[in-house]
Amino acid sequence: MSHGFETLAIHAGQDPEARTGAVIPPIYQTSTYAQDAVGAPREGYEYSRSGNPTRDALQECLAALEGGPVGLAFASGLAAEDALLRTVCKPGDHVVIPDDAYGGTYRLFAKVAERWGLAYTPAKVSDPDAVRAAIRPGTTRIVWVETPTNPLLGIADIAALAAVAHDAGALLVVDNTFASPYLQQPIAFGADVVVHSTTKYVGGHSDVVGGALVAADRALGEELRYHQNAMGAVNGPFDAWLTLRGIKTLGVRMDRHCDNAERIAAYLDGHAKVAQVLYPGLPSHPGHEVAAKQMRRFGGMISFRAAGGEEHAVEICNRARLFVLAESLGGVESLIEHPGRMTHASAAGSPLEVPGDLVRLSVGIETVDDLLADLEQALG
Ligand SMILES: Cc1ncc(COP(=O)(O)O)c(C=O)c1O
């Protein structure tokens, strides 16, 4: 029987524990497991890098929420990305990457994977023709997109890009961190692998770092699982437990994030101190229609360009009080940051460099009038 999203978030992979009936999956804080005889581990558990029941609960839940057969939880979003790249690609291969992406993702391609022989080409993910033109027939193994992108909130048409990637024999990988599976399920639109920094909305409380992969195809999922163990950057049991605790409320949190973000985007749009608002929920956003087609709502992330340029953007960040000046996103508390000098500093001087006048907001679930008042004083 199929269940709705909120039911899956609370129950998938989380049956009461067999021995005691514990309603919440226990934290199996163990590195190893007693075996009944040589070569006879109980229920397949032999060592916690290879398998751990708390991590399994999280993995099953993530797979259910994204609608894929295999979910895998890693130590961080970047650990998940690294495992994916080294499972699918080999030296001499090529990937198409977004021309707007999380700075750490860009750094992984530009400073780490390229040294191991993986070539990359940045392309505008909102333009399927540009992505097609960036493909190198025969060597492109992955078309990698974020949607919405971090930090410019660009929108990629997942179904169109799945067709572009598959025509070239490549996989479409979608980083779904900004949307979360509540707002967008890329596999339903043809993506082959979904990537998450579960540090963000999935965990939702800024108290744990983690990452995830969900594969659309079981064979690829099992290859990824093999590499998860062989490479070892697994999510620990306590981190998995915290992430699962957060997931249970993902749907209600996302709805409030969206409510608050919609109010704030409307307030910023047309404000004298703001040159441009980047939020896919605004009808003026170039990706609005595509976003409406593939997202339930438009999310809690807003970027805007300060009318007074880079120094003004920095001042706004420094003046904010309720919006905490901090990297990361997706927690219940609102955060503000200057991407050019903070999260995206690693993209400086590259095709992914972000404008200096850009401010990024992760809109939390506080009382929205308090958030609006803080922005009003911060804008100066
Ligand atoms: C869109 C996106 N993908 C991936 C990552 C990397 O995840 P982590 O910081 O958990 O390694 C981040 C982190 O900010 C991100 O924003």
pLDDT tens digit string along 271-291?
A: 999 999 999 999 999 999 999
pLDDT at 2 over 90: no
pLDDT at 34 over 80: yes
**In this predicted model, what pLDDT tens digit does every residue of 79-102 receive, in sequence order?**
999 999 999 999 999 999 999 999
**In this predicted model, what pLDDT tens digit does every residue of 232-270 receive, in sequence order?**
999 999 999 999 999 999 999 999 999 999 999 999 998
Average pLDDT rounded to a whole number, residues 131-144: 98
301-306 β-sheet, strand order: 274-278, 301-306, 358-362, 335-337, 324-325
Out of 28, 33, 45, 102, which one is annotated catalytic? 102
Out of 82, 99, 175, 357, which one is annotated catalytic? 175
Binned at pLDDT 50, 70 and 90, residue 1 comes out as low
Q: Using CA atoms, how far apart are residues 231 and 226, in angstroms rounded to an integer?
A: 9
Q: What are phi and psi of 320, to 5 degrees?
A: -65, 145
Ligand 1 near 147 CB (within 6 A): no
Q: Using CA atoms, how far apart are residues 198 and 331, in angstroms rounded to an integer?
A: 11
Ligand 1 near 260 CB (within 6 A): no
% of residues, the chain, pLDDT over 70: 100
Q: What are phi and psi of 81, to 5 degrees?
A: -65, -45
The pick from 74, 84, 102, 112 for probing ligand 1's pocket by mutation, whose C-beta has the most ligand atoms within 8 angstroms, reads 102
The pick from 76, 173, 199 for probing ligand 1's pocket by mutation, whose C-beta has the most ligand atoms within 8 angstroms, reads 199
pTM exceeding 0.85: yes
70-74 β-sheet, strand order: 70-74, 211-215, 193-197, 171-175, 140-146, 94-98, 119-123
Structure tokens at 232: 């070892």
Which protein residue's CA is at the shortest distance from atom 14 of ligand 1? 328
Ligand 1 near 146 CB (within 6 A): yes
pLDDT at 163: 98
CA 53, 57, 58, 62 torsion-angle sign: positive
pLDDT at 339 over 90: yes
Taking CA atoms, 178 is separated from 1, 241, 252, 298, in Å, by 29, 22, 16, 10
Number of the ligand 1 atom closest to the C-alpha atom of 343: 14
Out of 200, 225, 253, 360, which one is annotated catalytic? 200
pLDDT, averaged across the chain: 97
Which protein residue's CA is at the shortest distance from atom 2 of ligand 1? 102
| 200 catalytic per annotation | yes
Ligand 1 near 105 CB (within 6 A): yes
Ligand 1 near 198 CB (within 6 A): no
**In this predicted model, what pLDDT tens digit does every residue of 209-233 receive, in sequence order?**
999 999 999 999 999 999 999 999 9
